[in-house]
């Protein structure tokens, strides 16, 4: 092997090893100046668009022999970026991202950017885009600074080019509190990171539940939520409270009566340690209180020992910030970024399914301002407690992900809030299917009426006409279908629920379907066809505009203004 060949192989092996290397704050400096890369190849250690849009460029550099270059010839408004990330395993008051940028005929902007991600998404973000670094500029140093966040789990950063042009970046640095990031002090891991006992599953499988077990699980849910938001050992983040639930649940399930279950739960709470007598006790000024705190009456049903224990925790609850929940500044909505997702858990898993129920139920119990008026009867003080007991079997016994998602849809619908939904599982809300009829449905006087055809050009519109009132689908009456579907639809009121059902009610299996309609007072059954959504125009499902000018008078005493067409100073108002 000649010298040149040996050198090429050596460089190739270095490139492969660096690409495979896991980036940390200790070795991140090795990729920030791009000197480890190969000219005209994609920069090693980074991800993003591939060469030739992005290369390590030897024709110009701020220092050394290489920089990273992004080139865009397209005239669209998109952008190209290179990205890298490291674990946020350090403490920081400030994080500075420095680097040198050069541009050539950049239309929009070249920009460095940096982001701190937490367990549930982005916690902080900064970008140079607002500075509009464009045109043609020689090398110049730029800087971005973020405040450190102890909730961070990943530090992600990069360089982008928006619009056409060429841009280079070089000599990047990550500075923590004035020193290179490699020198930043280690962050102490939380219990959520160190306790891994149930990371692969709860090890709880439930095939059936007796009434006693349901009652005991309901009591466990109440205690678990109360302790989560009141006991100082838990509110300070010293326990993996989800996993502690799995540790006590087998004893509760095996208890032959409520007394034995209460004793097991009491032992579990005692193991958290004593609750110190408060010196500055939490107090509640209720002069203008719109939502009363949850009643504590339920603790008396748990027996003297457990009830007394919980009653002693309540007045001595901590006034310091909570670990599992805090309030967004200036808004007051609960911030739940420390709640873990468990995306890798394979269902069915009765323990994790009950955890989902317990989490959601207690969030509504302690943080929903409409908790006391969720039921149809404002005087029904047991509505939410009853909902918990009724939900335990569907959650615990769900055998598939779809069954679990549908149990959650029903639970969320019990909140009677249009803003709440299981968006990740909305496709399991009935009627289920990949196809639908090419019509839009609206309920008029509680009857589903065809009010618009939605077939795209070249697709058969089908036999349904505007004004047809649907009375049955494939032999099932609309009344029976509505009874089956209503429990899955979250809505603040019945008209909103019917609106959402109307949007979805023709969904089902692709192909032929019989639709019975009332057309001008005569009942007829039509042979219709459900089509894939690709040939149906669904863009106007939530649009109510009338065709024609922005201002109309449908009747002498009715004026209509099309807000979407309204303009101020020549610009649309919406």
Pick the last residue of a domain from 183, 200, 231. 183
Given a cut of 80, is residue 544 above it in pLDDT? no
The answer to whether residue 128 sits within a structural domain is: yes
Helices (H) and strands (E) in the chain, counts: 13, 23
Residue 132 shares a structural domain with residue 224: no
Pick the last residue of a domain from 416, 443, 467. 416
pLDDT, tens digit (0-9, with 9 covering 90-100), for 264-278: 999 999 999 999 887
- Please answer whether residues 180 and 29 qualify as being in contact, where contact means their C-beta atoms are separated by less than 8 angstroms: yes
Pick the last residue of a domain from 416, 443, 472. 416
Spatial separation of the C-alpha atoms in residues 129 and 424, rounded to whole Å: 32
Closest CA to 249 of 277, 276, 285, 221: 221
3-class DSSP state of 383: helix
Spatial separation of the C-alpha atoms in residues 123 and 113, rounded to whole Å: 14
User: Any alpha helices (H) in 140-257, and if so which ranges?
Assistant: 191-194, 211-230, 232-235, 241-254
Residue 371 shares a structural domain with residue 449: no
3-class DSSP state of 127: strand
pLDDT mean over 477-494: 96
Residue 434 shares a structural domain with residue 395: no
Residue 176 shares a structural domain with residue 84: yes
Residue 356 shares a structural domain with residue 434: no
The answer to whether residue 200 sits within a structural domain is: no
Given a cut of 50, is residue 3 above it in pLDDT? no
Closest CA to 562 of 553, 571, 550: 550
The answer to whether residue 229 sits within a structural domain is: yes
Q: What is the pLDDT of residue 566?
A: 67
Closest CA to 166 of 127, 141, 134, 189: 134
Cα torsion 342, 345, 350, 354 to 10°: value is 10
Q: What is the pLDDT of residue 12?
A: 35
**Cβ neighbours, 10 Å, residue 574:** 7
Residue 58 shares a structural domain with residue 162: yes
Sign of CA dihedral 541, 546, 547, 550: negative
User: What distances in angstroms separate CA 298 from CA 67, 304, 312, 355, 417, one per listed residue?
Assistant: 66, 12, 14, 20, 26
pLDDT mean over 447-461: 89
Residue 26: alpha-carbon gap to chain centroid: 32
Residue 145 maps to which CATH number?
Answer: 2.60.120.260
Greater pLDDT, 372 or 260: 260
Given a cut of 80, is residue 6 above it in pLDDT? no
Q: What pLDDT band is residue 120 in, cutting at 50, 70 and 90? A: low
Candidate ranges 13-22, 232-241, 295-304; pick with highest mean pLDDT: 232-241
Closest CA to 393 of 267, 162, 146, 209: 209
pLDDT, tens digit (0-9, with 9 covering 90-100), for 20-79: 458 999 999 999 999 999 999 999 999 987 767 999 999 999 999 999 999 998 777 688
Q: What is the pLDDT of residue 287?
A: 67
Sign of CA dihedral 274, 277, 280, 283: positive
Q: What pLDDT band is residue 13 in, cutting at 50, 70 and 90? A: very low
Given a cut of 60, is residue 564 above it in pLDDT? yes
Q: What is the pLDDT of residue 11?
A: 35
pLDDT, tens digit (0-9, with 9 covering 90-100), for 87-117: 999 999 999 999 999 999 999 999 999 999 9
Sign of CA dihedral 53, 58, 61, 66: positive
Q: How many domains does the chain have?
A: 4
Q: What is the pLDDT of residue 316?
A: 84
- Domain range enclosing 556: 546-574
**For 2-6, 365-369, 484-488, 534-538, which range has the lowest pLDDT when averaged over its residues?**
2-6
pLDDT, tens digit (0-9, with 9 covering 90-100), for 456-469: 888 888 999 999 99
Closest CA to 498 of 451, 445, 453, 545: 445
**For 141-155, 444-458, 538-552, 560-574, which range has the lowest pLDDT when averaged over its residues?**
560-574
Residue 230 shares a structural domain with residue 178: no
**Burial tier of 277 (Cβ tally within 10 Å: 0-12, 13-18, 19+):** exposed
Greater pLDDT, 329 or 299: 299
Residue 522 shares a structural domain with residue 569: no
- Please answer whether residues 519 and 421 qualify as being in contact, where contact means their C-beta atoms are separated by less than 8 angstroms: no
Residue 310 shares a structural domain with residue 377: yes
Residue 436 shares a structural domain with residue 567: no
Greater pLDDT, 371 or 539: 371
Residue 456 maps to which CATH number?
Answer: 2.30.42.10
Q: What is the pLDDT of residue 569?
A: 52
Q: What pLDDT band is residue 2 in, cutting at 50, 70 and 90? A: very low
The answer to whether residue 243 sits within a structural domain is: yes
Q: Which two tokens stand for residue 534?
A: 């690709």
The answer to whether residue 409 sits within a structural domain is: yes
Residue 251 shares a structural domain with residue 362: yes
Residue 234 shares a structural domain with residue 263: yes
Helix-strand-coil split of the chain, %, nearest 5:
30, 25, 40
Q: What pLDDT band is residue 568 in, cutting at 50, 70 and 90? A: low
pLDDT, tens digit (0-9, with 9 covering 90-100), for 386-439: 999 999 999 999 999 999 999 999 999 999 999 999 999 999 999 999 999 999
Closest CA to 397 of 431, 359, 341, 357: 357
């Amino acid at each position: 092997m000649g010298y040149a060949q040996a050198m090429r192989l050596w460089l190739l092996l270095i490139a492969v090893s660096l690409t495979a290397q896991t980036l940390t704050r200790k070795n991140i400096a090795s990729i920030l100046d791009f000197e480890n890369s190969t000219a005209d190849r994609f920069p090693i250690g980074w991800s993003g668009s591939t060469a030739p849009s992005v290369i390590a460029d030897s024709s110009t550099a701020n220092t050394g022999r290489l920089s990273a270059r992004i080139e865009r010839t397209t005239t669209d408004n998109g952008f190209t970026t290179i990205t890298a990330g490291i674990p946020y395993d350090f403490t920081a008051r400030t994080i500075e991202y420095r680097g040198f940028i050069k541009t050539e005929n950049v239309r929009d902007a070249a920009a460095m950017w940096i982001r701190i991600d937490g367990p549930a998404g982005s916690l902080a973000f900064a970008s140079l885009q607002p500075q509009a670094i464009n045109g043609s500029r020689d090398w110049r140093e730029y800087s971005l600074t973020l405040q450190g966040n102890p909730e961070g789990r990943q530090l992600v950063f990069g360089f982008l080019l928006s619009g056409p042009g060429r841009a280079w970046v070089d000599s990047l640095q990550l500075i923590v509190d004035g020193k290179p990031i490699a020198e930043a002090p280690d962050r102490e891991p939380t219990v959520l990171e160190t306790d891994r006992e149930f990371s692969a599953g709860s090890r709880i499988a439930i095939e059936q539940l007796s009434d006693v077990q349901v009652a005991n699980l309901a009591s466990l849910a109440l205690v678990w939520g109360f302790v989560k938001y009141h006991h100082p050992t838990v509110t300070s983040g010293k326990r993996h409270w989800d996993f502690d639930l799995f540790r006590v649940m087998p004893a509760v399930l095996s208890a032959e009566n409520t007394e034995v279950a209460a004793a097991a739960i009491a032992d579990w709470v005692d193991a958290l340690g004593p609750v110190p007598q408060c010196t500055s006790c939490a107090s509640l000024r209720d002069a203008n209180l719109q939502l009363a705190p949850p009643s504590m009456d339920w603790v008396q049903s748990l027996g003297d020992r457990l009830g007394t224990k919980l009653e002693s925790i309540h007045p001595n609850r901590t006034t310091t910030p909570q670990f599992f929940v805090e309030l967004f500044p200036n808004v007051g909505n609960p911030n739940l970024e420390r709640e873990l997702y468990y995306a890798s858990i394979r269902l069915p898993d009765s323990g994790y399914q009950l955890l989902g129920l317990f989490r959601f139920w207690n969030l509504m119990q302690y943080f929903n301002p409409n908790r006391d008026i969720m039921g149809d009867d404002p005087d029904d003080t047991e509505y939410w407690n009853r909902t918990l007991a009724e939900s335990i079997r569907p959650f615990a016994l769900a055998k598939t992900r779809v069954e679990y998602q549908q149990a959650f849809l029903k639970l969320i619908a019990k909140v009677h809030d249009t803003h709440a939904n299981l968006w990740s599982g909305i496709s399991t809300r009935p009627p289920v299917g990949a196809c639908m009829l090419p019509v839009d449905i609206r309920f008029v006087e509680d009857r589903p009426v065809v009010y618009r055809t939605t077939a795209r050009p070249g697709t058969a519109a089908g036999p349904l006409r505007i004004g047809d009132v649907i009375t049955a689908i494939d032999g099932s009456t609309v009344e029976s279908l509505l009874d089956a579907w209503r429990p899955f639809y979250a809505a603040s009121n019945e008209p909103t629920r019917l609106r959402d059902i109307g949007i979805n009610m023709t969904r089902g299996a692709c192909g032929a379907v019989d639709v019975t309609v009332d057309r001008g007072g005569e009942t007829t059954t039509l042979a219709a066809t459900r089509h894939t959504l690709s040939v149906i125009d669904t863009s106007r499902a939530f649009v109510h505009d009338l065709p024609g000018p922005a201002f109309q008078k449908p009747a002498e005493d009715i004026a209509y203004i099309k807000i979407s067409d309204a303009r101020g100073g020549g610009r649309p108002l919406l």
